[in-house]
Structure 1
Amino acid sequence: MTEFNPELIRALANGDAQALEQIKSYPLTVRMALGTAVDQLRRDENIVPMSGGGFSLYEQKPSSYMDTEAVGKALAERNKKLREAEELKEKIREEHLLKVAKQQATRARLGLRYDR
């Protein structure tokens, strides 16, 4: 791993906004390497960043806008399909049990044993 400026790593670990702005233009691989160095320093020295928006290897971009109505409709449609599939499965199961019961009754009337 490339040696980074220890002052930069310490500033990032402490949540310095200027240091964060400085590294935003770095390539992804360099930012990832810096992130591991920052996380290692935080673990070694038990550093908790002063600002909530400090730099982290596990930092995620904020999610985009989500239409809650569309999500609700999609979930309702999915639940409906699951319910219909379950009902179909239950109907097929009942038909099979009825068929087996009829076969057993017929065999019993004829005096035959029921073998599977």
Structure 2
Amino acid sequence: MQIAAAGVLIGLARSNLRGLRSTRTTTWWLGGVMLCCPTVDAGGSLAGDSAPHDPVQQRLQHMLPGWWEPADLVLVLLLVSSLLLALVLLALPPATKFFSVSALAGSPSMR
């Protein structure tokens, strides 16, 4: 499932580079949903209530190495911060007008 989500995000990123308005809207919507899910999971890990009640889940958790849970938490926080950064960058106006040749030709520093 995570591989499919990564594929969708890569496709949206490529479409956002082209400046398609529909993909910007889709990225806003999907990014907001994706921000909620890992944040809830990380909040549960931070609160310490991540102990499973199912015996199979308990055995699986005891089989994981000790570094797995902190590493997972760091990855989730990295995911949340990168999604937040992407949404902030989508909220900003495009900088292509600022860096265009016509804008540079008319600037006082170029005269």
Query: TM-score range, shorter-chain basis?
Result: under 0.3
TM-score of the superposed pair, with normalisation by structure 1? 0.25
The structure with more radius of gyration? 1
Higher RCO (Cα < 8 Å, 6 or more apart):
2
TM-score (norm 2): 0.27
